[in-house]
Amino acid sequence: MTAQVTQPPATAAPPLLAVAGVDVVLGHGWRATQVLTGVGLDIWPGEIVGLVGETGSGKTTLARTIVGLVRPRQGRIMFAGTEISGLRGGARRRERRSGHVQLVFQDPLRSLDPDLTVAEIVGEGLAIRGGLDTRQISEKVDDALAKVGLEAALRDRAPGQISGGQRQRVSIARALAAGPRLLLCDEPVSALDASNRNYILRLLAGLRDSLNLPIVIISHDLSSLAGIADRVVVLYRGRIVEDGPVSQVFSAPRHPYTALLMASAPSVRSQGDGPLTVHHLRRTAADPPPPDGGTACVFAARCPFAIAACATQPPLTTVADRWTAACHRHREWGELASKRPRHP
């Protein structure tokens, strides 16, 4: 099923993280559902990658697979040249204690132990790793808290006693204290209001700049990603449908789903100054029925531009330098869309 087209790397250096041909099935027996299909993703040092997609697209599962909370059925995950997807037991614990890959969970209220203090939470990784005395840990905790802009005065609070934005920063500080070389953030801003959202995103961008830390930000909000990401990867029903530089993808998306996501994003500017609205991109009753069946393009059922060729899943193909999309009609649909009526 996999049709991973190798991307020319940004630099001569190999990617820091290389996910290749990953299939993930969750559940057993008749409840088993394939959540990821043939997912390939490379992350280079110092870049911010936005991973977008709707609920159930598999973006969280991909992050959990990378950190080893979910075992892929197929494919492998390499970090800095060594495979980390097959590790088990003591070897896996050693790799985890190195703190190289850190995941910031979506909901800090659930991922921070309510009975621990902020200092205990942030220092947990260091305490587990051992080799540091209480004072050294305490210094490193203050250091991590400072990096996320939290005062040391908060260190004795419980997660329930600080605000939502502060909780999210504690969650990031816990990851930073481990000394990561790659940071994965699962919906770090979805529960926050606009000001706090921008604050966290700026914080992440600042971490990338100061530590050259590559960051994967999972989000369903394209507009806020546009502000800080270098690359955007669009996931739809467990497959990557588009992957490219943010400025190019957002100025002329090559997959109709990416375009639909963009057109759906609310904006304080008046509607209609964008080239395409949701009505250009939604199926209507007038459209010919899409091809169906197990091998059809995952987006065909919602795509107004689906044709007979879409009865087979298109592979990710290079559409420009460092830019791939999985659409049979990536050249034509844009023009077809602009001819569709603006309103239903």
Partner 1 sequence: MTRVTRRTPGSSVLRLPSARIAVAILAVIVFLAIFGSTLAPQSPLAIDAGALYRGPSPHHLLGTDYLGRDVLSRLMAGTRLSVLTAFEAVGIGLVIGAPLGVATVFLGRWFDFSANRVADALMTLPSIFFAVAVTAALGNGLVQAMLPVGILLAPVFFRVSRAATLEFSRAQYVEAAELLGGSKLHVIRVHVLRKVLPTIAVTTATAAAGALLAVSFLTFLGIGVQPPTPTWGGVLSSDLDYLNLAPWAPFIPGALIAITVGALNALADAYRDRAGAGELHSPVTDPVIKTHSTLQALEAADDRQTAA
Partner 2 sequence: MTGKPPRDEVLGLEDLHVTVHDGAATAVRGVSLSVAAGEIVGLVGESGSGKTLTCRAALGVLPPGCAVGHGTISFERQDVTDLSRRGWERLHGTGMGAVFQDPASYLNPNLTVGSQLAEVLRVKQRLPRREARRRGIDLLAAVGLHRPDWVFHQVPGELSGGMLQRVMIAIAISCEPRLLIADEATTALDVTIQAEIIELLRDLRDQRGLAVLFVSHDLAVIRELCDRVIVFYAGEIVESGPVGEIIERPRHPYTQALLRVASVGDFRRRELQVIPGQPPQVGADITGCRFAGRCPAAIEACRSGPVSLAPLSHAHQARCVRATDPALTAVPVTTAATTAAAEAAELAAR
Binding residues for partner 2, per CB under 8 A?
Answer: 54-56, 149, 163-164, 193-199, 201-202, 205-206, 220-224, 226-228, 246-247, 250-251, 260-271, 274, 278
Q: Stretches 24-32, 104-112, 240-248, 258-266: which one binds partner 1 (CB under 8 A)?
A: 104-112
Among 102, 258, 313, 324, binds partner 1 (CB under 8 A): 102
Query: What Rg, from alpha-carbon coordinates, does the chain have?
Result: 21
CB of 257 to partner 1, least distance (A): 30
CB of 335 to partner 2, least distance (A): 20
In whole angstroms, what is the distance from residue 145 CA to residue 140 CA?
9
CB of 196 to partner 2, least distance (A): 8
CB-count burial class (<10 Å; 0-12, 13-18, 19+) for 170: buried
From the list partner 2, partner 1, none, pick the one residue 124 interacts with, judged by a Cβ distance below 5 to 8 Å according to partner type. partner 1
Q: How far apart are the first and last CA of the chain?
A: 37
DSSP of 200-267, one letter per residue? HHHHHHHHHHHH---EEEEES-HHHHHHH-SEEEEEETTEEEEEEEHHHHHHS-SSHHHHHHHHHS--
Q: With binding defined as CB under 8 A, does residue 151 bind partner 1? A: no
CB of 71 to partner 1, least distance (A): 14
Binding mask 166-195 toward partner 1 (x if CB under 8 A, else -) reads --------x---x-----------------
Among 163, 223, 271, 338, binds partner 1 (CB under 8 A): 163
Phi-psi region at 188: left, alpha or beta (left = phi > 0; alpha = psi -120 to 50) = alpha
Among 49, 84, 103, 337, binds partner 1 (CB under 8 A): 103
Query: Interior CA angle at 209 toward 203 and 212, to 5°?
Result: 115
In whole angstroms, what is the distance from residue 282 CA to residue 344 CA?
9
From the list partner 2, partner 1, none, pick the one residue 250 interacts with, judged by a Cβ distance below 5 to 8 Å according to partner type. partner 2
CB-count burial class (<10 Å; 0-12, 13-18, 19+) for 248: middle
From the list partner 2, partner 1, none, pick the one residue 10 interacts with, judged by a Cβ distance below 5 to 8 Å according to partner type. none
Query: Interior CA angle at 197 toward 222 and 228, to 5°?
Result: 50
Among 82, 134, 267, 270, binds partner 1 (CB under 8 A): 134
Handedness of CA 34, 38, 41, 42 (dihedral sign): positive
Q: Confirm if 204 and 148 have CB atoms less than 8 A apart.
A: no
CB of 160 to partner 1, least distance (A): 6
Contacts of 210 (CB under 8 A, 6+ apart): none
From the list partner 1, partner 2, none, pick the one residue 115 interacts with, judged by a Cβ distance below 5 to 8 Å according to partner type. partner 1
From the list partner 1, partner 2, none, pick the one residue 38 interacts with, judged by a Cβ distance below 5 to 8 Å according to partner type. none
CB of 194 to partner 2, least distance (A): 4
Judged by CB under 8 A, the chain residues 57 through 76 that form the site for partner 1 are: 67-69
From the list partner 1, partner 2, none, pick the one residue 178 interacts with, judged by a Cβ distance below 5 to 8 Å according to partner type. partner 1
Write out the H or E segment, with its range, that includes residue 335.
helix 333-339
Q: How many CA within 13 A on the CB side of residue 90? A: 0
| Contacting positions for partner 1 (CB under 8 A) | 67-69, 93-99, 102-103, 105, 107, 110-117, 119-120, 123-125, 128-129, 134, 137-138, 155-158, 160-163, 174, 178
